[in-house]
Structure 1
Amino acid sequence: MQNTNGGAALVLAVVVVGLVVRGQLRTRPVRPTGSLIAPLVLGVLGTAGIAFGIASVVKYHPLTTQPVVLLVTSLAVAASFGVARARTVQVWRGPQSEVLRKGTAATTGLWLASVGVHIGLALWIDRAAGAGLLGTASLYAYLAIGLGTQNLLVRRRAAAL
């Protein structure tokens, strides 16, 4: 059974990433824990999504090595994009000595590239799995790792100011 929900996955990715990018482009303070809440929520959803994805594959046949390797690769790519995006986020001290952050056009471009890469890898994972929606269901985990990596690195830069 092939993944026939590629269009739905694309719409979901656009909506979720659109919300994330919109938040990234606003000037906002760097908070000690605030920047970790969204990645944690996405991480919980991502764990559930991967569990669902695995269940959707093993319903038809055993999970093989190739889709698992591709999934791990996808999550490593998410972290790599997070590192790259963190370098594009502006961090500075505001008028009351608060530390502020704001994404740039490059941040947005890297988000869009990241989502495009995830969609391609998700389709490859689902094709390699031969059934189910493991790649598609890994979207939240991908976003959690990418956003979490980015936010941790931005917080480190903010602490250095």
Structure 2
Amino acid sequence: MHSTNNGGSLVLVLVVVGLVIRQQLRTRPVRRRGSLIAPAVLGVLGVAGIAFGVASVLEQHPLTTLPVVLLVASLAVAAVFGMVRARTVRVWRDPQGEVLRKGTAATTGLWLASVAAHIGLGLWIDHAAGAGLLGTASVYAYLAVGLGTQNLLVRGRAKAQP
């Protein structure tokens, strides 16, 4: 996400977030592995984004502790949002015995709040770093942690279905 390509990167992030939210609102089966594929892909992109962000800061000056602490805090915020969102996802067993899931309006609202929180935290991280795009580039890691946490908890709820 180089500064000359922020517009294109922003569009890509918005598309990814839109697809995640759209997928949340569909009725679909709870699967053992399928629910971890998207967080894994986002996680790989997240690691690459963080590496890019660190490199973008290091081009200007050494990376200090505060942006790193804020980055870790932002990932913790993502996990908390994932935990809360998991409670808003409807989970039930259909007449054929398959466990299904579907996000609610509250799930969507929490996704939007989560993205807004990351934007704020990302700007704070970038300001604390004094250069580069560490906060901005960490969006995929943020999405991976939040979605992964949510999906793991929804899977746990699915296992508890009678």
Classify the TM-score, shorter chain. Answer: over 0.9
Distance 2:88 2:79 in 1: 15
Distance 2:62 2:160 in 1: 48
Query: TM-score under structure 2 normalisation?
Result: 0.93
Contact 1:85 1:110 in 2 (8 A): yes
Structure 1 residue 13, shift from structure 2 partner: 3.3
Aligned residue pairs, count: 159
- 1:94: which partner in 2? 94
Structure 1, unaligned runs of 5 or more = none
- 1:34: which partner in 2? 34
Structure 2, unaligned runs of 5 or more = none
Structure 1 residue 8, shift from structure 2 partner: 5.4
Structure 1 residue 15, shift from structure 2 partner: 1.6
Q: Give the aligned CA root-mean-square deviation in angstroms.
A: 1.4
The residue type equivalent to 1:58 in the other structure is L
Aligned residue runs from structure 1 range 91-130, under 5 A: 91-130=91-130
Aligned residue runs from structure 1 range 8-157, under 5 A: 10-157=10-157
Distance 2:118 2:154 in 1: 22
Identity %: 79
Query: TM-score under structure 1 normalisation?
Result: 0.94
The residue type equivalent to 2:87 in the other structure is R
Distance 2:139 2:119 in 1: 8
